[in-house]
A and B are shown apart, each in its own frame.
Chain A
């Protein structure tokens, strides 16, 4: 039985897991969907004998019926390295590849349907509330007057991207940014805007969930620091997971049907962990580098387990 790893070639984070799978003697095929069509080929038939199919990349070929798991790490978009790229070709390639793969009995980290839903940050907040996490007051609106009212109520706010994505034309970065309570919200009408109560944090918490295994790490933060992704200071250290957080994570993972999730929390002066987001494809190697927590080993073990009966 084979593990299928979908990611780009330069992905060193994937390397950390591939190396463990090699050590375990688990067969694997690694490919980038961006190479379909081209270096990646596929075929499947749905005949009288049921479903059969295979994938080929470089010199490796794998039967779809022999897949034990699929790890969607950091795949490129299908069709984007084709000689004649088009939106239509991408759609055709995406439908063929993921349609075939979801026809198998393989376990997914994470299933595309669950991953797609879990990317919606507004939905993350909803599920987080339902799961018992402490969630900062948040407003997503295109009404300037509603934004004004929210600012009057909470005073100390941050603005962040609703999608989590940065603008690319031209390339910009949009860190989570503190805004003045006197801000002019007129431009909220020009696009849905996410405003959130600013949590004055003493530390950032990154909790990586792999199946049922939790790896929490803590990094001291300056009180004035808002977005730790753009701060160079601090070292991640292993942290204990409070029991109530453990229960909430379990509830969240069940509700979202995710096998993997990287949770971000802000820890305030009282030690409360405020839920910020859960990235279904979040990085983990930067945590493992600092803490030596065996996250890659846990992912490899999950991928190497037997497929669904």
Chain B
């Protein structure tokens, strides 16, 4: 028998978003292709969704 709560679950939609930044081990933070900090771009923050509330709920206990 399937647990009660799972009857309300729905398939996870996998985001196809490409990460437009890379980790810079020297600076210890992520940078854009032009060298700026990735967090300096509001558009990047919004587009990647890595800072959104649901980002955590899909992969971690906390969000």
Report A's interface with B, CB cutoff 8 A: 5, 9-16, 18-19, 22, 28-30, 58, 74, 119, 147, 159-161, 163-167, 170-175, 177, 179, 185-191, 193-194, 228-230, 262, 279-283, 285-286, 289
Contacts and interface: CB of A to CB of B under 8 A. Distances in A.
B37 to A, nearest CB: 6
Interface of B: 1-14, 19, 21, 23, 25, 27-30, 37-39, 42, 44-46, 48, 50-58, 60-63
A9 B45 contact: no
Contacts, number: 140
Nearest to A31: B28
A186 B62 contact: no
Contacts of A171: 11-12, 14
Nearest to A183: B4
Residue picked from B4, B53, B56, most chain A C-beta under 10 Å: B4
B8 A189 contact: no
B50 A12 contact: yes
A286 B37 CA distance: 17
B50 A11 contact: yes
A189 B9 CA distance: 17
Contacts of B44: 12
7 contacts: A9-B23, A15-B38, A19-B29, A22-B27, A166-B9, A187-B7, A283-B51
B61 to A, nearest CB: 5
A285 B51 contact: yes
A10 B30 CA distance: 7
Contact of A190 (B1, B9, B37, B42): B1
A283 B42 contact: no
Contacts of A161: 5
A55 to B, nearest CB: 14
Nearest to A278: B62
A283 B11 contact: no
Q: Which 6 pairs between the two chains have the least Cβ-Cβ distance?
A: A191-B3, A285-B51, A281-B62, A9-B23, A171-B12, A187-B4
B23 A280 contact: no
Contacts of B12: 166, 171-173
A177 B28 CA distance: 40
B54 A229 contact: yes
B2 A167 contact: no
A12 B62 contact: no
A262 B57 CA distance: 13
B61 A165 contact: yes
